[in-house]
Structures are given as C-alpha cells and as structure tokens.
Amino acid sequence: MTTAPLRLAVLCLVPVLLAGASKIDPPNTDRDEPRQGPGYRDDNQAVPQPLRLQYLEIVTPSVNETCDALAKMHGVTFGEPIAEFGNARTAKLKNGGRLGVRAPMRETEMPVVRPYLLVDDIEAAVKAAETAGAIVAIPPMEIPGQGTFSIYILGGIEHGLWQL
C-alpha cells in the first residue's frame, strides 16, 4: 500500500475508533424485578465492564501530516514527542484517554493503528488473550507514571491492553 492510500485509510479509521466503545446496560437493581437476564449477576458471574479506549496509537512515517489532519478534523491539540511513548506526539481525548502518533521505531515496524483498551488486571487479560490463541508480542511493561501496557496479536490484528 502506498503512503497516500495508507494515510487515507488511517484518517478514515480514526473517527470510528474515537467514537468509543458501546456501553453495557447497568445491572438491574430493582428488587421487584426477577433476578435473571443480562443485568443479573450471581456469585459465579463476572460483571461486564464497559470498554474504555485508553490509548489509540497510530504508527506512520507521516507523523506531522497525520497530527495536522487529525487536529483540523477533530479539534485536538498534539504536544511535543514523548520519549516514554516511543516519541509519539499525543493529544488528550475527552474520555480521559490519549491519541498518539509516532514514527516506526525500527525498519521492520509497519504502519498500524493499535487501540489499547483499559483493563483492571493486565496479567489476567493477557492470560485470557493467550487462552483465546493470541501471541503476546510485548508482555506487560510499565511506563513510569503512565501505567502498564501489553500488546498481543490475534487473527493478524495487533491489540493493546492498558492498566492504570
């Protein structure tokens, strides 16, 4: 894929990812209702948590152009490169997360858009991904003052996890 079509693909995908994850209905707390259905939880069921995008990483050889386009389209402001984020230029999102744009860090790193979803227990989340057949590309690694992240690959897609 050439640079122009890749840039167009990234710019088309970002608004979809920035729209956020769908919310899960809260549990039914009305005591007059029967204790069953999607909102009911017994001691053997985990309460599903809404998905929260903590960090959306865009790896591209066109960092400044991508930041400029996203800033104009979405009204975000990108800062200077941050070393702990692979020299990504980042912008804060309204949900408390961040959008980061950085250049590839090695010759073999291909352009990618990688969402990092917030999890309560990154070790358990990585284990669940492995159980589902994922390959862990980067095991949980702390970024001082920012949290812990991990990357896994499943079905040819790179996924990120983030724990604060």
| Model confidence, pTM | 0.71
Q: Indicate if 64 and 107 belong to the same structural domain.
A: yes
With 70 as the cut, is the pLDDT of residue 43 above it? no
User: For residues 139 and 151, what is the distance between their CA atoms, to the nearest angstrom?
Assistant: 7
Q: Indicate if 84 and 128 belong to the same structural domain.
A: no
How far is the CA of 61 from the CAs of 20, 138, 155, in angstroms? 25, 22, 25
In a domain? residue 35: no
Work out the mean pLDDT of the chain and round it to a whole number.
82
With 50 as the cut, is the pLDDT of residue 58 above it? yes
Q: Indicate if 105 and 151 belong to the same structural domain.
A: no
Instruction: List the structure tokens of 46.
Output: 């985990």
Lowest mean pLDDT among 37-41, 88-92, 148-152: 37-41
In a domain? residue 163: yes
For residue 134, the enclosing domain spans 119-164
Per residue in 77-115, pLDDT tens? 999 999 999 999 999 998 899 999 999 999 999 999 999
Q: What is the pLDDT of residue 15?
A: 45
Tallying the residues shown for the chain, one arrives at 164
Instruction: List the structure tokens of 27.
Output: 């549990």
